[in-house]
Structure 1
């Protein structure tokens, strides 16, 4: 997919050069002392911003990295405390797992942390989460049926025994598996094409006014609730299991109401394993700058990009670090907020 994008960009650039030569022009206008932009047309815009945040690339950095987008599956129960590495994530997605608990899919691309975890297992729900950016997963493993489904979907993953994976003997299993992600990244190379934008990024000034919303409570099927408060310009997860100084501070919290089905098997404790259906359409709640904008989301296939809209038209997420909550539409899933 990345090589195709590069080929298309090269073809477009060549076509523009031929057209300019055919039309002639002023030599003074065709030459410049300024540095050439990173790409041509829309490519210049894309390569100057990060795909998982929409933020501008600074200095001599490039949004075309030699490593893929890594998605580390991180436990999100009290047994995981303290979680490591979330403060370096570009984006985080929270999804329902068995027993009413949740698990985090932490996305790393613009910055690769030295250490991340505790690393836990994958779910079939992850296919729709990682495929839009060809993400590669770091995991403790998965049930056989899940592994077959992810392999069939073309999702690459790294389990225990991979470079950089280790057990912290000071913690109890299974909450003691971690990854030295920088070490793993050195062994995983891809062509340096920039991944597609994960969200439709925009400017905060263009966001609809919405309504005041200072706190958020995202409840997952009668089990876990993630609590947020807006202060100091960002949203902080007040019941986070992250280490002090290593929390993921979100510029936006995007809540997507999703349908949840049965994955068709049970965990070792006998709990049915849920499967989030991250395709189709549903209600969306975008929290930014202490306000809520309501809309809808759509995603036509597992590989497809996420689209957002309001009654007035397309809805764009202000560039920044976004936490995505995939909250079930039924079975106790709920979202509440307060104005102050």
Structure 2
């Protein structure tokens, strides 16, 4: 959660990252560079016992998704594997900066990263899935017992060292990567995406939208419609988001969801409060698809349920097939 320098990644940088990831995977390395970062600059704790819940676990009826918490500092880009995610959540963290949470169900890339620390808000957001696997580098010390009690499978480098490696292309903490295949034997499939999203033909109405920028106090995201690709091109802090190989990161649907962002009970090592993003409740949102913007309502009645996006008369709003980016931003 240190302060970020401006990313200057060109074709050479992306090629170096791709080569570094390939070499690390081929070598089967578990990484170098010391203890993985837990968001406080301190070593990881020892592996925990299986997470406990305050209530009995329901029978497993849906396979778990894989959720990976991603660094989003300029020095952490380009991201590996984010283009393969089914859903990418964007949330505000300390200092007005941002982090990503990538959710995988229909496919698992070879590598994902850089991986960083979890936040309290992540636990509420992940309750919509049945015991998801959460990959993260660590967390604030007072939050760790809360994560232990959450209905999810926490997998840090301390608990699954063979699933992580350090890339040699950049310094720690921006070089920790995950091999998803070491945590899940296979992709769980679309039935694991219990988000409440509806997919299908575009809704009627809406207004033409060629570009939308969403701002945090110290970060911004821009989504630009590409008719030739039939996707929204993602940019972060004014720089196009690309894969390590240089391809553009895109979204089929973008949701700008207005939520309550309040102070949490936790602070980082600098004393900055960690924002808590509330995803249970209701409010307004815009759904961007097919070059048009649709004003909608969102509602998530309980943490265990998904989020419904509807028109004023309660009709579900269909998303386009493909990656969905949900940008959680403070309501005006």
Could you state the TM-score of these two structures normalised by the residue count of structure 1? Answer: 0.72
Deviations 1:12-39 (A, max 9, x none): xxxxxxxxxxxxxxxxxxxxxxxxxxxx
- Report the TM-score when normalising by structure 2: 0.74
Which consecutive unaligned segments of at least 5 residues does structure 1 have?
Answer: 6-63, 331-340
Q: Does 1:167 align with 2:169?
A: no
Partner of 2:326: 324
Counterpart of 2:233 in structure 1 is: 236
Higher helix fraction: Structure 1 or Structure 2? 1
Q: How does 1:273-292 map to 2 (within 5 A)?
A: 273-292=274-293
**Once the 2 structures are TM-superposed, how far is the Cα of residue 196 of structure 1 from its aligned partner?**
5.1
Q: Are 2:105 and 2:192, in contact at CA under 8 Å, matched by a contact in 1?
A: no
Cα deviation for residue 102 of structure 1 reads 0.6
What pairs with 1:170-319 in structure 2 (closer than 5 Å)? 170-186=169-185, 194-195=191-192, 197-205=194-202, 207-220=203-216, 222-231=217-226, 232=228, 233-238=230-235, 239-243=239-243, 244-245=245-246, 247-318=248-319, 319=321
How big is the shift at 1:314? 2.0
d(CA) in 1 for partners of 2:254, 2:71: 20
For 2:142, the equivalent position in structure 1 comes to 145
Instruction: For residue 87 of structure 1, give the secondary structure of its aligned residue in structure 2.
Output: helix
Separation in 1 of the partners of 2:174 and 2:190?
Answer: 35
**Residue correspondence of structure 1 range 55-134 to structure 2 within 5 A:** 68-134=64-130
Q: Give 1:139 deviation, angstroms.
A: 0.3
Range with bigger deviation, 241-250 or 155-164: 241-250
Query: For residues 74 and 247 of structure 1, do their structure 2 counterparts lie closer, same or farther at Cα, with a shift above 3 Å needed?
Result: farther
Query: Could you tell which deviates more after superposition, 241-250 or 293-302?
Result: 241-250
142-151 or 320-329: bigger deviation: 142-151
- Taking only aligned residues, the RMSD between alpha carbons, in angstroms, comes to 2.3
Gaps of 5+ in 2: 1-56
Q: Give aligned pairs, total.
A: 266
- Which has the larger displacement, 304-313 or 237-246? 237-246
Equivalent pair of 1:87/1:245 in contact (CA under 8 Å): no
Cα offset, 1:150, TM superposition: 2.5
Question: Structure 1 residues 196 and 265, CA, compared in 2 at 3 Å: closer, same or farther?
Answer: closer
Alpha-carbon distance, 1:73 to partner: 0.7
**How far is the alpha carbon of 1:189 from its aligned partner?**
10
Mapped to 2, the partners of 1:268 and 1:241 lie a distance apart of 29
- C-alpha distance in 1 between matches for 2:60 and 2:177: 34
Larger radius of gyration: 1
Whether contact under 8 Å (2:89, 2:102) holds in the other structure is yes
SS at 1:182's partner residue?
A: helix
Q: CA deviation at 1:146?
A: 2.2
Provide the secondary structure at the position in 2 that maps to 1:204.
coil
Cα distance in 2 for residues equivalent to 1:196 and 1:164 = 23
